[in-house]
């Protein structure tokens, strides 16, 4: 929230501090300098006023989005269908507002209801739309894939997925602007081009859907990557915190982006194998938990 013309404020939460730490790593990795400071104010009244101002800003954003969605609602008996891309764009706008709605502003539930109605109006065409968005992996062999510098969880996971299931001979490079990439390069997790976020899905989920990757361990990885990347807690993935700490450590220890991506892909390969093993032999673990939970007889 803007406080003054050159000052913005965020709640002092672990999530905010983590975001700034990642930003600091990216800035320093590009040769810049960054210092993270925390500020305190005196008085409960001032704090309450700040919280109320946060809520007022988010409530206004929800109200604006709700008004647009209300105008798009088909009248009784109408068969109007909004393009999939437009529906996804509204979902992205809602997610962006919700991510900075730190204090539970009014108006959120109204937007959720309107969005759900808009998305359900396309339910009859979902099968056709999904089919049209899938791609044949044979067209993506031995390609150069490009993404943004200082890869994080979604870019690491997506690169691993590409190499493991889509393009075994894939090579990777980094560009700050996709316009500067070679003409034959494929972009991923870059704004507005190539494979990226779609609706409420991260790039990893988009790739898995587009290339029809049906694998239980990949599906579980997708939940972890989604929760860590979008920070919406959609799946409540218990492994997200641990993975986030590991990636944070990799980013601090690897200055070279290619080395960082390579180490991240090794990390995801290890997680994939672990999740696959757990899926194949769940019984011993379940028994072990049951034994630990069983009360002891005196």
Confidence of residue 65 (pLDDT cuts 50, 70, 90): very high
Alpha carbon distance 73, 68 (integer Å): 9
Stretch 55-74: mean pLDDT: 88
User: Highest-confidence range of 77-91, 161-175, 272-286, by mean pLDDT?
Assistant: 161-175
> Which pLDDT does position 270 carry in this prediction?
95
- In degrees rounded to 5, what are phi and psi of residue 274? -65, -45
pLDDT at residue 244 in the model: 93
pLDDT for 78 beyond 80: no
Where is pLDDT greater, at 258 or 36? 258
Average pLDDT over the chain reads: 82
Burial class (CB in 10 A: 0-12, 13-18, 19+), 57: middle
Please check the confidence at residue 131 and state whether its pLDDT lies above 60. no
* Angstrom distances, CA of residue 12 to CA of 6, 36, 44, 234, 242: 19, 12, 16, 23, 21
Q: Taking the CA of residue 57 as centre, how many other CA atoms within 13 Å lie in the half-sphere pointing to its CB?
A: 16
Count the neighbouring beta carbons within 10 Å of the beta carbon of residue 84.
Answer: 19
What's the pLDDT band for 16 if we cut at 50, 70, 90? Answer: confident
Q: What are phi and psi for residue 189, nearest 5 degrees?
A: 55, 45
Task: In whole angstroms, give the CA distance from residue 206 to residue 198.
Answer: 7
Highest mean pLDDT range out of 41-55, 172-186, 261-275?
261-275
Structure tokens at 101: 């709605």
pLDDT of residue 115: 80
Mean pLDDT within 44-51: 84
Q: How far is CA 72 from the centre of its chain?
A: 27
CA dist., res. 52 & res. 27, Å (int): 32
User: What local confidence, expressed as pLDDT, does residue 257 receive?
Assistant: 94
Neighbours of 14 (CB within 10 A): 8
pLDDT higher than threshold 50 for residue 128 = no
**pTM for the predicted model, two decimal places:** 0.55
Tell me the β-bridge partners of 174: 147
Query: What local confidence, expressed as pLDDT, does residue 134 receive?
Result: 59
The most confident of 36-50, 111-125, 140-154, 172-186, by mean pLDDT: 140-154
Examine the pLDDT at 273 and tell me if it is beyond 80.
yes
What are the residue ranges spanned by the domains of the chain? 2-132, 137-284
Q: Residue 294: which region, alpha, beta or left (left: phi > 0; alpha: psi -120 to 50)? A: beta
Instruction: Say what the pLDDT of residue 274 is.
Output: 92
The strand pair at 144-147 and 7-8 is best described as unpaired
């Amino acid at each position: 929230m803007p406080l003054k013309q050159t000052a913005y404020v965020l709640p002092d939460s672990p999530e905010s501090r983590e975001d700034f730490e990642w930003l600091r790593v990216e800035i320093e990795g590009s040769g810049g300098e960054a210092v993270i400071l925390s500020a305190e104010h005196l008085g409960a009244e001032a704090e309450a006023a700040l919280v109320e101002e946060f809520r007022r800003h988010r409530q206004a954003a929800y109200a604006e989005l709700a008004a647009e969605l209300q105008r798009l609602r088909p009248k009784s008996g109408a068969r109007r269908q909004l393009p999939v891309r437009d529906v996804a764009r509204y979902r992205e706008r809602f997610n962006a507002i919700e991510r900075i709605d730190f204090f539970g502003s009014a108006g959120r539930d109204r937007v959720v209801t309107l969005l759900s109605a808009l998305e359900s109006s396309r339910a009859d065409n979902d099968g056709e739309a999904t089919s049209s968005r899938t791609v044949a992996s044979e067209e993506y062999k031995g390609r150069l894939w490009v993404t943004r510098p200082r890869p994080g969880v979604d870019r690491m996971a997506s690169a691993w997925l590409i190499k493991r299931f889509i393009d075994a001979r894939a090579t990777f490079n980094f560009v700050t602007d996709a316009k500067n990439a070679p003409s034959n390069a494929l972009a991923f997790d870059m704004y507005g081009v190539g494979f990226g976020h779609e609706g409420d899905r991260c790039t990893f989920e988009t790739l898995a859907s587009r290339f029809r990757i049906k694998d239980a361990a990949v599906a579980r990885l997708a939940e972890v990557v989604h929760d860590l990347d979008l920070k919406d807690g959609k799946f409540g993935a218990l492994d997200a915190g641990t993975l986030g700490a590991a990636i944070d450590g990799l980013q601090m220890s690897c200055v070279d982006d290619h080395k960082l991506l390579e180490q991240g892909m090794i990390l995801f390969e290890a997680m994939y194998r672990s999740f696959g093993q757990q899926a194949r032999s769940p019984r011993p673990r379940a028994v072990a938990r049951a034994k630990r939970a069983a009360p002891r007889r005196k």
